[in-house]
């Protein structure tokens, strides 16, 4: 049985025929399913979990001890920061402060508030700056209630009194939603598709298919969150991934459908051809992305496992939509796929076909040499073929320049620092940032980076003075609070405030010094656990740094196995892995330069220079490796096809690049447009991953695919197709995976 015949009789062919013929039923099932899952997921889905402390870290042990023996301290709190130009005892300032404290105290969302006038420890010596803690009555307080508190604090500021409300809940309350970012991404993708297809109908099918898949995928992801909890950024990141791959996958299939219609196939046959070729490639590419995402499980962090599962669910739904919902849409569209066309100039090939129709000349003679590239009469090669020929004439130069450029872009990644965002890196008009600035001025920059020490004790009379004194005398510690004993007399806690801020590179060093050197050197110090907001960040970042190489190795190994199964060439599989590493390294380097060094940071929406958010490089790697493998599949499949036909690597690369350049360019442009729109949102972590992925996709679609791939394949020649135990290395077996020929 031939490959073509096998495809026509295979599972995908049968699925495509069913979805085309029963398109009304398929569309009805999809609409009903999405509505049902959306109702359940968005109405009753699991809440986000942002506890990055892990299960076995020092900060996690400290938190468990506190939760067990200090249950009264488990409620969330806010911090009111006050700065009065003429001092808080000024009559006008005192009246304003008292009024605000009374208003906050009267809120049903808050517990009793201690006025700074009643506790001297809450006021600086010059009495210009004060603070007070605002307990919340519930751990699951409504964001709307906290937002009203933030509004009250903002409204009370003025007249020489500056007020700010800090705390995690305050940051969440005043952080706007992602806004129009995804909408702008969809609009940009629509414009690119319209230019590529030249038809509103063809443009709309990938958009609608992707949007339905994303809604269903994210809703299902929220239900899966009961088993695999995930942090709150997962929804936005999954939406970005789903939108990008969903539109791209539909783009590939619609392109092949249009090509089949142009070749004379009926709509049903064109649908079957599109699904059995481009749809097969989509399933392979999507599986690669899912496997790469599941590499996050190797991090051994439960929240990252949740992110991996959640994002994989979204990608899986987009894959299913591409091979079921899209064929139904193609059935509705049929020959109208080119309706509502964009006026455009005819190509030379089209003018030749029109001329031969008028003169009754066979089409093969009229267009010979116009569209087929090298070696056929007086052929006019495409721009992609001419570019490939240019690279192939000087492969060493092209490969060296491309590699050097990528390494230069990647160089800043060597100085990457990891942390989690806090109030100090928020926009400066936020109340939480105002609170941070006031507290840092009055009580030191380390007030927002407290260390919490927790230890079990044998009795209430346990002497903790040696431990407290050792900590207080440590260089970098500003001051230490007296120990507090739990009601059951089995545990004690005290706090220390560093002289440096949350994002300062000296603060993590101090955490490690206290744990490794100070506490073990004091009697009873080995039983003390150091936790708190900043140590949680330190532990999480250290875990990322330690396990990232393992995750990279797992993703590389799994992806290489998949690529070997597809292209059946060790050389090409290794080339793909190395090139993907180079493009991802370049993205890491640009991310460090913009975010950490501050180059163009403000222009791109980052309020200040800051360390890279801890989870960003970890998330970027599997996502980008999977997406890069997608492009590798689409390009190398066509190159391999041409090599089987011609037996010449140079011709195969030239023709393969020409046949895929447009579709890869359009797909990459859509990805870049979607990912870049994250810069319009408020979350600095999501901004970072959007920036990094945009750079990586852009680099991969230009420097890697247009320069490095043709140059390296030219240098390797027939060695590109080396595979152990193959009988004839010069004639690899054609792969069943194909990609669309172009837009």
Identify the band that residue 400 occupies on the pLDDT scale cut at 50, 70 and 90: very high
Same domain, yes or no: 87 and 208: no
Residue 286 near residue 279, CB atoms below 8 Å: no
Domain count, the chain: 3
Backbone angles phi, psi at 373, to 5 degrees: 90, -135
Strongest mean pLDDT among 273-282, 475-484, 559-568, 569-578:
475-484
Same domain, yes or no: 97 and 189: no
Q: Is 358 within a domain?
A: no
pLDDT at position 348 is 56
Using the CB atoms, write b or e for 641-654: b if 16+ within 10 Å.
Answer: bbbbeeebbbbbbb
Q: Is 590 within a domain?
A: yes
Backbone angles phi, psi at 82, to 5 degrees: -130, 135
Same domain, yes or no: 197 and 334: yes
Q: Is 691 within a domain?
A: yes
pLDDT in tens, 67-77: 889 886 666 78
> Domain boundary residue among 282, 314, 338?
338
Q: Is 437 within a domain?
A: no
pLDDT at position 533 is 87
Q: Is 64 within a domain?
A: no
Same domain, yes or no: 228 and 169: no
Same domain, yes or no: 9 and 99: no
Q: pLDDT at residue 293 above 90? A: no
Least confident of 602-616, 622-636, 689-703: 622-636
Q: Is 544 within a domain?
A: no
> Domain boundary residue among 280, 304, 338?
338
Same domain, yes or no: 227 and 298: yes
pLDDT at position 357 is 44
**What tokens does 70 get?**
């200090």
Identify the band that residue 372 occupies on the pLDDT scale cut at 50, 70 and 90: very low
Nearest one of 508, 540, 525 to 454, comparing CA atoms: 525
Q: Which residue has the higher pLDDT, 727 or 372?
A: 727
Q: Is 258 within a domain?
A: yes
What's the whole-number mean pLDDT along residues 18-22? Answer: 95
Q: Which residue has the higher pLDDT, 704 or 183?
A: 704
pLDDT in tens, 436-474: 999 999 999 999 889 999 999 988 888 899 999 999 999
Nearest one of 501, 503, 529 to 515, comparing CA atoms: 529
Give the domain range for residue 134. Answer: 77-138+141-174
* Overall pTM surpassing 0.95 (yes/no): no
Same domain, yes or no: 170 and 183: no
pLDDT at position 374 is 40
pLDDT in tens, 170-184: 988 888 765 555 678
- What's the CA gap between 367 and 363, in Å, rounded? 6
Mean pLDDT of the chain: 85
Same domain, yes or no: 274 and 406: no
Q: pLDDT at residue 732 above 80? A: no
Least confident of 7-11, 303-307, 597-601: 7-11
pLDDT at position 192 is 86
Residue 590 near residue 412, CB atoms below 8 Å: yes
pLDDT at position 54 is 63
Q: Domain of 674: which CATH number?
A: 1.20.1640.10
Using the CB atoms, write b or e for 153-174: b if 16+ within 10 Å.
Answer: bbebbeeebbbbbbbbbbbebb
Rounded to 10°, the helix 615-646/649-676 angle is: 150
Same domain, yes or no: 7 and 92: no
The region that residue 684 occupies, defined by phi over 0 for left and psi between -120 and 50 for alpha, beta otherwise, is: alpha
pLDDT at position 611 is 95
Same domain, yes or no: 322 and 198: yes
Handedness of CA 187, 190, 192, 198 (dihedral sign): negative
Q: Domain of 169: which CATH number?
A: 3.30.70.1320
108, 572, 701 from 665: Cα distances, Å: 56, 21, 7
- What's the CA gap between 227 and 235, in Å, rounded? 16
Q: Is 195 within a domain?
A: yes
pLDDT in tens, 512-534: 999 999 999 999 999 999 998 88
Q: Which residue has the higher pLDDT, 694 or 369?
A: 694
* Upper half-sphere CA count for residue 654 (Cβ side, 13 Å): 22
Nearest one of 450, 364, 394, 357 to 133, comparing CA atoms: 450
Strongest mean pLDDT among 336-345, 399-408, 642-651:
399-408
Mapped to the 3 state alphabet, what secondary structure does 367-424 carry?
Answer: CCCCCCCCCCCCCCCCHHHHHHHHHHHCHHHHHHHHHHHHHHHHHHHHHCCEECCCHH
What's the whole-number mean pLDDT along residues 298-326? Answer: 90
Q: pLDDT at residue 235 above 90? A: no
Same domain, yes or no: 288 and 206: yes
Nearest one of 559, 569, 582, 580 to 716, comparing CA atoms: 569
pLDDT at position 364 is 41
Q: Which residue has the higher pLDDT, 703 or 727?
A: 703
Backbone angles phi, psi at 477, to 5 degrees: -100, 125
Same domain, yes or no: 607 and 692: yes
């Amino acid at each position: 049985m031939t490959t073509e015949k096998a495809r026509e009789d295979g599972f995908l062919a049968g699925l495509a025929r069913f979805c085309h013929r029963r398109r009304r039923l398929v569309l009805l099932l999809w609409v009903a399913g999405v509505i049902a899952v959306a109702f359940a997921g968005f109405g009753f889905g699991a809440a986000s979990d942002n506890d990055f402390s892990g299960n076995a870290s020092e900060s996690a042990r400290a938190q468990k001890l506190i939760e067990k023996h200090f249950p009264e301290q488990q409620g969330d709190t806010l911090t009111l920061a006050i700065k009065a130009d003429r001092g808080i005892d000024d009559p006008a300032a005192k009246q304003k402060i008292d009024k605000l404290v009374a208003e906050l105290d009267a809120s049903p969302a808050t517990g009793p508030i201690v006025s700074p006038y009643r506790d001297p420890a809450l006021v600086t010596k010059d009495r210009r700056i004060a603070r007070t803690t605002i307990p919340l009555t519930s751990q699951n307080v409504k964001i709307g209630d906290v937002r009203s508190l933030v509004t009250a604090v903002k409204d009370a500021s003025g007249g020489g009194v500056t007020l700010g409300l800090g705390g995690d809940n305050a940051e969440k309350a005043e952080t706007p939603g992602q806004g129009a970012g995804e909408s702008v991404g969809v609009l940009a993708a629509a414009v690119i598709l319209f230019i590529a297809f030249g038809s509103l109908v063809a443009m709309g099918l990938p958009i609608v298919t992707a949007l339905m898949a994303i809604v269903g995928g994210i809703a299902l992801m929220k239900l899966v969150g009961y088993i695999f909890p995930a942090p709150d950024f997962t929804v936005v990141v999954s939406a970005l991934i789903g939108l990008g791959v969903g539109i791209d996958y539909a783009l590939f299939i619609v392109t092949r459908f249009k090509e089949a219609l142009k070749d004379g196939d009926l709509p049903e046959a064109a649908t079957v051809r599109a699904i059995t070729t481009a749809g097969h490639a989509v399933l392979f590419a999507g599986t690669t992305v899912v496997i790469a995402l599941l590499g996050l499980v190797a991090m051994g962090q439960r929240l990252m496992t949740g992110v991996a599962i959640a994002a994989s669910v979204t990608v899986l739904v987009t894959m299913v939509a591409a091979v079921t919902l899209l064929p139904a849409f193609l059935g509705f569209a049929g020959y109208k796929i080119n309706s509502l066309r964009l006026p455009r100039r005819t190509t030379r090939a089209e003018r030749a076909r029109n001329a031969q129709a008028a003169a009754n000349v066979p089409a093969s003679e009229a267009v010979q040499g116009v569209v087929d590239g090298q070696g056929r009469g007086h052929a006019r090669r495409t721009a992609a073929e001419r570019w490939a020929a240019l690279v192939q004439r000087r492969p060493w130069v092209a490969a060296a320049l491309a590699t050097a450029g990528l390494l230069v872009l990647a160089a800043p990644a060597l100085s990457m620092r990891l942390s989690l965002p806090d109030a100090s890196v928020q926009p400066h008009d936020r109340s939480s940032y105002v609170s941070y600035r006031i507290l840092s001025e009055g009580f030191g920059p380390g007030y927002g980076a407290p260390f919490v020490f927790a230890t079990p004790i044998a009795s209430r009379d346990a002497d903790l003075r040696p431990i407290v004194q050792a900590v207080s005398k440590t260089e970098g510690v500003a001051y230490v609070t007296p120990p507090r004993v739990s009601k059951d007399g089995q545990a004690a806690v005290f706090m220390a405030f560093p002289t440096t801020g949350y994002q300062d590179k000296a603060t993590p060093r101090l955490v490690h010094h206290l744990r490794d050197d100070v506490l073990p050197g004091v009697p009873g110090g080995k039983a003390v656990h150091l936790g708190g907001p900043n140590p949680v960040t330190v532990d999480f970042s250290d875990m990322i740094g330690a396990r990232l190489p393992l995750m990279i190795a797992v993703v590389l190994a799994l992806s290489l196995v998949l690529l070997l199964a597809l292209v059946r060439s060790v050389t090409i599989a290794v080339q793909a892995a190395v090139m993907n590493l180079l493009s991802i390294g370049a993205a890491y380097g640009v991310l460090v330069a913009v975010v950490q060094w501050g180059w163009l940071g403000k222009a791109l929406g980052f309020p200040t220079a800051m360390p890279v958010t801890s989870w960003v490089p970890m998330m970027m790697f599997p996502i980008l490796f999977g997406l890069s493998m997608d492009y590798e599949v689409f390009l190398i499949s066509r190159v391999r096809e041409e090599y089987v036909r011609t037996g010449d690597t140079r011709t195969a690369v030239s023709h393969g690049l020409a046949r895929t350049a447009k579709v890869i360019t359009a797909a990459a442009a859509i990805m870049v447009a979607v990912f870049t729109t994250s810069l319009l949102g408020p979350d600095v972590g999501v901004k970072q991953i959007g920036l990094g992925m945009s750079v990586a996709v852009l680099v991969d679609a230009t420097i890697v695919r247009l320069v490095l791939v043709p140059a390296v394949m030219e240098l390797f020649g027939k060695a590109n197709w080396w595979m152990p135990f193959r009988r004839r290395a010069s004639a690899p077996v054609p792969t069943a995976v194909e990609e669309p020929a172009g837009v």
